[in-house]
Amino acid sequence: MSQQQLAELCELSVDQIANIERGKNFAGKSTIPLLADALRATQQELFDFSGNDDFVKSGGMKWRASRKQNVLHVRNRKVAVPIPGQRQQ
């Protein structure tokens, strides 16, 4: 299933689906039921990785997409947005 198809089934934007998939955003209380319904799964199945040995061996949910410093444009000026817990460069 493509991100576009999943987004349409969930009535979410493709950007939201992509960000969840990449680990930039977490699925919240209102999004999880939409994802479960679209994927024809229970909410519990979305979080039960006991049958996925490769996922568990690779570290599972410990991995998360890296967070790079974001740049915010404010009135044609670039403003660095610090991320808590990250060293500034």
Q: Which residues constitute the domain of residue 22?
A: 1-49
Please check the confidence at residue 75 and state whether its pLDDT lies above 60: yes
Residue 15 lies in a domain: yes
Chain CA centroid to CA 21, Å: 4
Digit-coded pLDDT (tens) for 19-59: 988 878 888 889 999 999 999 999 988 887 777 787 777 77
Contact 53, 12 (CB under 8 A): no
Please check the confidence at residue 76 and state whether its pLDDT lies above 70: no
Question: What is the model's pLDDT at position 32?
Answer: 93
Residue 3 lies in a domain: yes
Question: What is the model's pLDDT at position 36?
Answer: 93
Mean pLDDT value across the chain: 78
Q: What is the pTM of this model?
A: 0.58
User: Which is more confidently placed, 26 or 78?
Assistant: 26
Please check the confidence at residue 13 and state whether its pLDDT lies above 80: yes
Give how many domains the chain has, as a whole number: 1
Residue 2 lies in a domain: yes
CATH number of the domain bearing residue 4: 1.10.260.40
Residue 39 lies in a domain: yes
